């Protein structure tokens, strides 16, 4: 989980370098595809955020605005959706940071108990083995 969180944070940092690109630029497409692949590895708790990210189109989808290679409205939509993507990724990373300490604090108590049990078993087996050697 920590590795995934770090990778998502790296994607957040990469947004600065792709902000002035367009949705048709290969560097943006590469960032977008790799980010979606990262988000697929998240636990089911984040399904809503992942779906919200997938719904972002980064291009103006109105058919009547023309199909020119560069449409100024695409740039506006691209930046708006990029801002939305940043918000979604920040939400995911912040919720993970909050959830991580809670999950780590709960299992600590049972782990110490298990260690005590294992330690007591080792002691008892050592005692038995020494008793067997004494009887011989």
Query: Average pLDDT in the 37-56 region?
Result: 92
Spell out the SS3 assignment of 32-88. HHHHHHHHHCCCHHHHHHHHHHHHCCCCCCCHHHCCCCCCHHHHHHHHHHHHHHHHH
| Model pLDDT, residue 89 | 94
Least confident window among 22-26, 47-51, 118-122: 118-122
What percent helix, strand, coil does the chain show, rounded to 5? 80, 0, 20
Closest by alpha carbon to 62, among 76, 48, 50? 76
CA 72 to chain centre: 33
Please give the DSSP secondary-structure letter assigned to residue 23.
Answer: T
pLDDT tens digits for range 71-122 = 555 678 888 999 999 999 999 988 766 655 544 444 444 444 444 445 444 5
Work out the percent of the chain whose per-residue pLDDT is above 90: 38
DSSP H or E run through 127: helix 108-135
What 8-state DSSP symbol labels residue 45?
Answer: G
SS3 of 70, please? coil
Going from N- to C-terminal start, the domains of the chain cover: 2-105, 107-136
Q: What pLDDT does 34 receive? A: 94
Count of C-beta atoms within a 10 Å radius of residue 95: 13
């Amino acid at each position: 989980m920590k590795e995934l969180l770090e990778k998502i944070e790296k994607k957040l940092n990469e947004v600065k370098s792709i902000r002035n690109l367009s949705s048709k630029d290969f560097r943006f497409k590469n960032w977008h595809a790799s980010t979606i692949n990262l988000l697929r590895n998240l636990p089911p708790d984040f399904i809503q955020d992942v779906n919200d990210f997938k719904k972002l189109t980064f291009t103006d989808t109105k058919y009547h605005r023309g199909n020119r290679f560069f449409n100024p409205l695409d740039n506006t939509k691209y930046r708006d959706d990029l801002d939305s993507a940043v918000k979604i990724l920040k939400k995911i990373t912040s919720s993970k940071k909050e959830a991580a300490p809670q999950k780590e604090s709960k299992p600590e108590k049972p782990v110490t108990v298990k260690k005590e049990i294992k330690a007591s078993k080792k002691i008892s087996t050592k005692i038995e083995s020494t008793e067997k050697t004494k009887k011989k």
